[in-house]
Amino acid sequence: MTTSAAASSGRWRLRQPSVIPGFGLTLGFSLAYLTLIILIPLAGLVWRSAGLSGAEFLAILSDQRTLNALKVSFGTAFIAALVNVVFGVIVAWVIVRYEFPGRRIVDAIVDLPFALPTAVAGISLAALYAPNGWIGQVLNLFGIKAAFNPTGIVIALIFIGLPFVVRTVQPIMEEIDREVEEAAATLGAGRFQTISRILLPGLSPAILTGFALAFARGVGEYGSVIFIAGNIPYVSEIAPLLIVIRLEEFNYGAAAAIATIMLGLSFAMLLFINLVQAWNRRRYGHGA
């Protein structure tokens, strides 16, 4: 009788509601929030573009101006994300591993693109890299034109994408024990071997995440790009600007179609990056 009562009491205690919201409530809230904020707007976009016939949609997709704008947006975002991966990891390494005067100031400057309005960033970069700007004048001596062309777009996307890589890699880098590097050195590993076999395997998931975030931000960036891009059709016109142009022409179907194409391409590339990241984590986990 006592055992049965204790078992019943134990079952009763397990069924008591937790003070912290459980799985059902949090899952319901998450799905409702994602539906209202993300899924409904995206569904409206797809629904608006679905109003076009197949021939009209293909005509917009095959239009040379649309293809060039998509090429410029995705190409420059990819290049800028690659550059940010290299220099973002270096900046995170300097902040984490070295003590120097002004370290906190450097750490705070990294977040400046997050707080700075994108239009202000675009105007500042255009003023600096224009042919008569401080940096543009120096680059002109070497025959380099850094503004009002795709190069200017890459510069703007590097500026706004760097914090994503640094802030993603930095906390993971802080968790890597220096004793692991010292042990590798005592076993005869050189600097390149230590970086490639000790540091990068642990940092690669964070690096891929930072790349994906910087790339995604760059594809949809508008405010900081239009001032330095030149916005020349077929040369330096980005897809977001083309969408705005179509909206100003009251061609809502074309604008929705271009946005849907960007959505599909972005989703496919991010899905691929996530699959590579998951594969890398499994490989690293098995290796560990």
**What is the pLDDT averaged over residues 70-84?**
95
**Per-residue pLDDT at 271:** 87
pLDDT exceeds 70 at position 97: yes
pLDDT exceeds 50 at position 83: yes
**Per-residue pLDDT at 258:** 92
Mean pLDDT of the chain: 85
**What is the pLDDT averaged over residues 33-60?**
87
- CA atoms of 165 and 172, how far apart (whole Å): 11
pLDDT exceeds 70 at position 247: yes
Of the candidates 241, 227, 174, the residue with the CA atom closest to the CA atom of residue 249: 241
pLDDT exceeds 70 at position 2: no
What pLDDT digit, counting tens, does each position of 50-59 carry? 888 888 889 9
pLDDT exceeds 50 at position 38: yes
Give the range among 27-31, 35-39, 162-166, 281-285 with minimum mean pLDDT: 281-285
**Per-residue pLDDT at 25:** 80
- CATH node for 44-287: 1.10.3720.10
**More confident call, 84 vs 16:** 84
**More confident call, 145 vs 285:** 145
**Per-residue pLDDT at 78:** 95
What pLDDT digit, counting tens, does each position of 160-182 carry? 999 999 999 999 888 877 777 77
**Per-residue pLDDT at 286:** 44
**Per-residue pLDDT at 238:** 94
**Per-residue pLDDT at 23:** 74
Segments making up each domain of the chain, as ranges: 44-287
pLDDT exceeds 60 at position 138: yes
- CA atoms of 226 and 153, how far apart (whole Å): 8
Are 218 and 77 in contact by the 8 Å Cβ rule? The answer is yes
pLDDT exceeds 50 at position 211: yes
Question: What is the maximal distance between C-alpha atoms in the chain?
Answer: 95
**What is the pLDDT averaged over residues 25-45?**
87
**What is the pLDDT averaged over residues 266-277?**
84
Q: How confident is the model at residue 276 (pLDDT cuts 50, 70, 90)?
A: confident
**Per-residue pLDDT at 176:** 79
- CA atoms of 227 and 153, how far apart (whole Å): 9
Burial 215-239 (b: 16+ CB within 10 A, else e): bbbbbebebbbbbbbbbeeeebbbb
Q: How confident is the model at residue 287 (pLDDT cuts 50, 70, 90)?
A: very low
pLDDT exceeds 70 at position 13: no
